[in-house]
Amino acid sequence: MAQTRNDGMYREIITKAVCGKGRKFSEATHKIKPAHKPSSILGCWIINHKYGAQKKGSNVEVDGSYDVNLWFSYNDNTKTEVATQTVNYTDVIPLSMQDQNVLSDDMEVFARALQQPNTLEASISENGEHVNVEVEREFVVDCIGETKMAVAVNPDGVIDEFDVEDDEFDDISDEEYEKLDPNFLHKEMDN
């Protein structure tokens, strides 16, 4: 923690800032049990992904769900069907960066899916009764909270380089703009 001085050269400011960050990649295997014994897998995709996040201790828990849609053939590859199953999950994401000077435990948590859940592989189990679906997903989380900062104060109240009169920066007229040579730099570099 930075030292503060009482000589008027520093001020403490309370502001909202990112006070915690985390990231996690996950893989999971789901068992899908279709109504018919599958002969082959024709496709597998994931839709309707929904999630929310909340801070719990030094972690963020992302709770979500998605639908696994499995397109398969059955009856010796003579018929097809789509089996759908909703999957619920919880990913516990440790915060790799945490500000210890947060003023309150009441933080806003923002989770973003870097990798939406998608199918890596779908395979029929050895007994042929269900399908194993391997899924990957990845999240990044930010925790926004109130924290205290110390900033230097200029005793004169102004910073010379920013204390400029507006008329020092005249706008260029349309006429002057038309006269600009777009190849000026190329001419200079060729010489």
Q: What is the pLDDT of residues 11-23, one digit of tens each?
A: 888 888 888 899 9
Residues forming beta bridges with residue 109, ordered by sequence position: 143
- Structural domain count, the chain: 2
pLDDT of residue 154: 77
124 in the same domain as 103? yes
Of 115, 130, 146, the residue nearest 51 (C-alpha) = 115
Query: Does the pLDDT at position 188 exceed 70?
Result: no
One-letter amino acid for residue 43 of the chain: G
72 in the same domain as 44? yes
47 in the same domain as 129? yes
143 in the same domain as 93? yes
pLDDT of residue 140: 96
- Better-predicted residue by pLDDT, 104 or 18: 18
Q: What is the DSSP string of 109-177?
A: EEEEEEEEEEEEEEEE-TTSSSEEEEEEEEEEEEEEEEEEEEEE--TTSS-GGG---GGGSPPPPHHHH
pLDDT of residue 163: 53
| Predicted structure pTM score | 0.69
pLDDT of residue 1: 41
- Better-predicted residue by pLDDT, 65 or 1: 65
82 in the same domain as 37? yes
Query: Does the pLDDT at position 189 exceed 60?
Result: no
What residues make up the domain containing 71? 10-151
Of 66, 60, 117, the residue nearest 91 (C-alpha) = 60
Name the one residue in this structure whose structure tokens are 């960066």: 97
Asked whether residue 71 is assigned to any structural domain, the reply reads yes
Confidence of residue 7 (pLDDT cuts 50, 70, 90): low
Q: Which residues contact 159 (CB under 8 A, 6 or more apart)?
A: none
Q: Is the distance from CB of 87 to CB of 66 less than 8 angstroms?
A: yes
133 in the same domain as 84? yes
Query: Does the pLDDT at position 49 exceed 50?
Result: yes
Backbone phi, psi, residue 188, to 5°: -65, -40
145 in the same domain as 92? yes
